[in-house]
Amino acid sequence: MGLQLVETGNGTATVDMTPTEDMANSSGFVHGGIISTLADSAMGRSVHTLKPGVVRATSFDLKLNFINAAKIGESLRATGKVVHAGRRTVVTECRVEDRNGKLVATASGTFAVKREKE
């Protein structure tokens, strides 16, 4: 899908992608499932920046709000952020923006995690 990890920090991750023609919906814009995948990836990668380390993270709740249509061929950037890090679950949020910084979607997700032993 062309997802590229741009940067990570403590509890954050940024992922870019440029949607291709085969990722279009019937209206010619980026399909919502593609945007969902991008957001889930950014949030999941943000979970893996936590200490103690996360060995496995599985999203079991994902909510998206589509704000604006995204155009095929224009890069999208998703920034995921951990908002609560428990021992077994982690709650995250994400913003997906186009190359001009226009908000395309917001997301939230909850992940079941297995951590390294301390």
In the chain, domain spans: 4-115
Residues 6 or more apart whose Cβ sits within 8 Å of residue 33: none
* Rg (the chain; Cα; Å): 14
Taking only the tens place, the pLDDT of each residue in 70-89 is 999 999 999 999 999 999 99
- Distances, alpha carbon 25 to alpha carbons 3, 28, 29, 42, in Å: 19, 5, 6, 22
pLDDT in tens, 15-62: 999 999 999 999 999 999 999 999 999 999 999 999 999 999 999 999
pTM: predicted TM-score of the whole model, two decimal places: 0.95
Q: CATH assignment of 4-115, given 3.10.129.10, 3.20.20.70, 3.30.420.10, 3.40.50.10190?
A: 3.10.129.10
